[in-house]
Structure 1
Amino acid sequence: MQYQGVLKKMKTENLDEIQYYLDMKTDFLNMNQLLNKEISISFIKYECLNCHLEKTVYRQGFCKSCFFDIPQAADWIMKPELSKAHLDIEERDLAYEKSVQLRPHIVYLANSSNVKVGVTRKGQVPTRWIDQGAHEAIEIVETPNRYLAGITEVALKEFVADKTNWRKMLKNDIEEVSLIEWREKLKEFIPEEAKAYFIENNSETHLNFPVKKYPKKPKSLNLIKTPKYTGKLVGIKGQYLIFDDETVFNVRSNEGLVVSIEV
């Protein structure tokens, strides 16, 4: 069977074992069903996720002109502390910015390779944790807007990481820690403006990824340099496909590539 479409991050469903789905325009692939099967991935062309033109992807699945123009790629996406919609200040499109920034946001701790702090919209829990390959996570602050979550993250990353070590995450090399203990330890460092939004007495969420075999030395597949790759799929974690020969492919970082997948 052959499928073709533009890559977008895999959709997920948090069941006993996380289910992964790849939307290939005309087909919706349950990637879990491809585990232990040989698949081929071939690069065909680029397609910007915004303008849908065949233009080289610059970042986040967008061509360069879209990346510097659309609100979905503005600086506050990656740096929530730069949000200004709560002040009625526009960066690129105030209506869009209000629709995203003025919603409840969660500051969380996650353990995917080590303890890290992060921010996500409340509606993105637990999707955000799954995308990061976190085995466990806990919500620590729920704010009414993105800005307050952002300044809380900035304050807390003085004491914990704010990035995932993707190699450790894929090797399943995880530090055993208590996120509840970390939550209590970090409580005093929450900014005054956000202290009232601290969440007490909640428990950790545990996540189970469909991985048959973890790589010891993961090597990343670059589809532009290697336009066709064939391998046996042995796991899915975060947004990575893991193959038997220790090749790993990050679907999310390849958004905007039109590919064919042959099973």
Structure 2
Amino acid sequence: MEHQGICHKMHAGLSDLSVTDQHIHKANVEYKFILDRQKIDLPFILGQELEIEWSGQIYCVSCGSKTPKSYTQGHCYKCFKTKASCDMCIMKPETCHYHLGTCREEKFAQEVCFQPHIVYLANSSALKVGITRLGQMPTRWLDQGATQALPIMQVGSRRLSGQLEIMFAEQVADKTDWRKLLKGQAPALDLIGLRDELLDEFAPHIESIRDEFSLSLDFNEGLEILEHEHPREFVYPIAEYPAKIKSHNLDKTAKIRGRLQGIKGQYLMLDTGVINIRKYTGYELTLRRE
């Protein structure tokens, strides 16, 4: 079986959702490849041999033009320099500069930056704090390979969520160690207990941030602590973890092959190495299985 097209990050969804007596939501993670913006059933099953080949062509996911290099996961240089979705504040939301009048795109700000955002705790390689738009749950957690996640706050803007994230990052990591992520499943954590400890420790700082953002007259940037949320748990399709982490690079080796051992986050785990599919957004790929 063969599929060819412009690669986008894999779509991750949930199945077999269950709720335990402790109100922990647990579900299996399912994946679909996105080629030419169309979801296709993952053309592989665990244990099968697969091949991924890059044609040498890259196309901008925004304007569609051919580009010699991919910027910010699938953009040409022009879009990288002009699109709000490529601005530094996307990676560092606390640096949002809309209030300074220098946002690249008003429409983008309304549709993305001033939408409800969630501050959450997750367990991927270890405990981490992160943010995501309300509508991106659970996608954000699955893209990071989290086995546990717990929303702890809801706010009205991306900048406010970023301020809270860097506050919590004084005590909790805000990044995932991708090598540890692929070496095995992190030990389970008491996310509710950890949430309560962090909220208690940072209570004065949280109130200070709340007061600062309550002065905004343009948008509702309110801050709500989510005291009644319950943890979510996710089970990924993994037969075995790699004995040694070796990363495939299509820019150096245009064709790779291996037996599929598992999928976690945006990584395919092959017996020949791992590959981050999201890294190759905009690349023209051919995927084959035997």
Tell me, yes or no, whether TM beats 0.5: yes
| 8 A Cα contact 1:214 1:235, kept in partner | yes
Q: Give the equivalent residue in structure 2 for 1:5.
A: 5
Quickly say closer, same or farther: Cα 1:67–1:122, change in 2 above 3 A: same
Q: After TM superposition, give the deviation of residue 48 of structure 1 in Å.
A: 1.3
Q: After TM superposition, give the deviation of residue 250 of structure 1 in Å.
A: 0.3
Quickly say closer, same or farther: Cα 1:65–1:232, change in 2 above 3 A: same
1:66 aligns with 2:79: yes
Unaligned runs of 5+ in 2: 17-27, 212-222
| 8 A Cα contact 2:259 2:270, kept in partner | yes
| 8 A Cα contact 2:6 2:285, kept in partner | yes
When normalised by structure 2's length, the TM-score is 0.85
For 1:257 and 1:26, the matched residues in 2 are separated by 12
Matches for 1:145-224 after TM superposition, within 5 Å? 145-187=157-199, 188-189=201-202, 191-192=206-207, 193-194=209-210, 196-224=223-251
Q: After TM superposition, give the deviation of residue 173 of structure 1 in Å.
A: 4.6
For residue 9 of structure 2, what is the amino acid of its counterpart?
K
| 8 A Cα contact 2:118 2:151, kept in partner | yes
For 2:241 and 2:72, the matched residues in 1 are separated by 28
Q: 1:21 aligns with which of 17, 32, 51?
A: 32
Who wins on radius of gyration, i.e. which is larger? Answer: 2
The Cα offsets for residues 202-226 of structure 1, whole Å up to 9 and x where unpaired, read as: 2110001011111121111100101
1:250 aligns with 2:269: no
The Cα offsets for residues 94-124 of structure 1, whole Å up to 9 and x where unpaired, read as: 1211211111000000000110000100000
Q: 2:94 aligns with which of 78, 81, 91?
A: 81
Count of aligned residue pairs for this structure pair: 261
For 1:107 and 1:32, the matched residues in 2 are separated by 35
| 8 A Cα contact 1:19 1:32, kept in partner | no
Unaligned runs of 5+ in 1: none
The Cα offsets for residues 182-210 of structure 1, whole Å up to 9 and x where unpaired, read as: 10111032522349511113211000101
Q: After TM superposition, give the deviation of residue 84 of structure 1 in Å.
A: 3.9
| 8 A Cα contact 1:151 1:191, kept in partner | no
| 8 A Cα contact 2:8 2:37, kept in partner | no
Q: Secondary structure at the match of 2:250?
A: coil
> Over aligned residue pairs, what C-alpha RMSD do you find?
1.8
| 8 A Cα contact 1:213 1:244, kept in partner | no
Quickly say closer, same or farther: Cα 1:33–1:261, change in 2 above 3 A: closer
Q: After TM superposition, give the deviation of residue 177 of structure 1 in Å.
A: 2.1
Q: Give the equivalent residue in structure 1 for 2:134.
A: 122
Quickly say closer, same or farther: Cα 1:98–1:84, change in 2 above 3 A: farther
Q: 1:42 aligns with which of 41, 53, 74?
A: 53
| 8 A Cα contact 1:88 1:94, kept in partner | no
Q: Give the equivalent residue in structure 1 for 2:70.
A: 57
Q: 2:120 aligns with which of 108, 114, 124?
A: 108
For 1:174 and 1:33, the matched residues in 2 are separated by 26
When normalised by structure 1's length, the TM-score is 0.93
For 1:69 and 1:95, the matched residues in 2 are separated by 14
| 8 A Cα contact 1:32 1:210, kept in partner | no
For 1:32 and 1:156, the matched residues in 2 are separated by 40
